[in-house]
Amino acid sequence: MMKHQNSPLTDSFDRHHNYLRISLTERCNLRCSYCMPVDGVQLSPAEHLMNANEIFSIAQTFVKFGVTKIRLTGGEPLVRKDFPEILELLSSLNVELSLTSNAVSIDRHFEQLKKAGVKTVNISLDTLKASRFHDITFRNYFDRVYQNVQKLIAEGFIVKINAVLMRGINEDEILDFVAFTKEQPVAFRFIEFMPFDGNQWKREKTISYQEIMEKVQSAYAADQIIRLKDAPNDTAKNYTIKGHKGTFAIISTVTNPFCDQCNRIRLTANGRLKNCLFSQKENDLLTALRNKQDIEPIIRMNLSKKFAIRSGMDGPESFENPDKHKQNRSMITIGG
């Protein structure tokens, strides 16, 4: 860790942040309520968003300071018309490039993704039922998304499926999701429902890590449930069922935060740096870049103020206080 001591990407808790998540857009072709408020969001004017060259310039700076992995998120990143240009620019950097998408239109981009060296794609899919897909997303794209997941597998991509579990919505599909991994070589990841501005979060809507495991243990014998070794800095606790081609995992941000190993920072589509998903404070890199200012001091200041746990909300009472989240963005304007 000594080599990272003076890096702008090392915080006061000696965590080095080598993973940058860049949101390309605040727009999406789905309208999932846990991500976007029912009444929509106030979108940033186009001129306030980073263009392709600005994204590349800021990413270059982060790579110089030690970022080794960049994930493109949104909104839905593929709705940007210049997505191929952004992808090509970033592929020239010495980083691991990955993508989070809802897969509605991803089949149009397979060759571009391969050319850019993208090997892993995370797909947001909260149900395996077409009618429920419409209820959650307000769109009838289930068949298209499901087919594109199959196409991604066939094309050789490493596919991870992210499902946000919400009580009364889709927790009855936990065992269906696990069964899906029997014949499909995917990583199905259960994500605890998290609070953001406008998504009507309540603690009782969250399905905990313990509840998920109890459900799995009710259907499979103990010697069939295999705990896998997690990768360094992994946010997920990974498992497989004996004989299954795929795996499942639990990302327990609410009930079992993993902040001590955090190596992630986020750049919003309008060029603001967030040192934590739950941080209410942001620093504007885009304006500084456009004013020809050095962005290193801003990055260094941002990381130096990172809290040990969830932007200072270390206990359940603090985290479950709705006022704490009204000052944060809606998820769609942060980036998944």
Tell me the per-residue pLDDT of 230-252, one tens digit each, with 9 for 90 and over.
988 888 999 999 999 999 999 98
Q: Which long-range contacts (CB under 8 A, 24 or more apart) does 311-316 make?
A: 311/276, 311/278, 311/279, 311/280, 311/281, 313/278, 316/203
Residue 111 to residue 127: CA distance in whole angstroms: 28
* Backbone φ/ψ region at 47: left (φ over 0), alpha (ψ -120 to 50), beta: alpha
Most confident range (mean pLDDT) of 112-116, 197-201, 330-334 is 112-116
Give all strands (DSSP E) within the chain, no chain letters. Answer: 19-23, 69-73, 96-101, 120-124, 158-165, 187-192, 225-227, 237-241, 247-251, 264-267, 272-274, 283-284
- What's the pTM? 0.88
pLDDT, tens digit, for every residue of 73-103? 988 999 999 999 999 999 999 999 999 999 9
Residue 277 to residue 35: CA distance in whole angstroms: 13
Q: Of the ranges 139-148, 208-217, 250-259, which one carries the lowest mean pLDDT score?
A: 250-259
Residue 321's pLDDT is 60
Helices (H), 34-95: 52-64, 83-90
Contacts of 160 (CB under 8 A, 6+ apart): 120, 121, 122, 123, 186, 187, 188, 189
Residue 51 to residue 152: CA distance in whole angstroms: 28
Q: Which tokens belong to 319?
A: 């985290």
CB atoms within 10 A of CB 235: 20
pLDDT at residue 327 tops 60? no
User: Which has the closest alpha carbon to 328: 315, 314, 311?
Assistant: 311
The CATH homologous superfamily of the domain defined by 18-334: Aldolase class I (3.20.20.70)
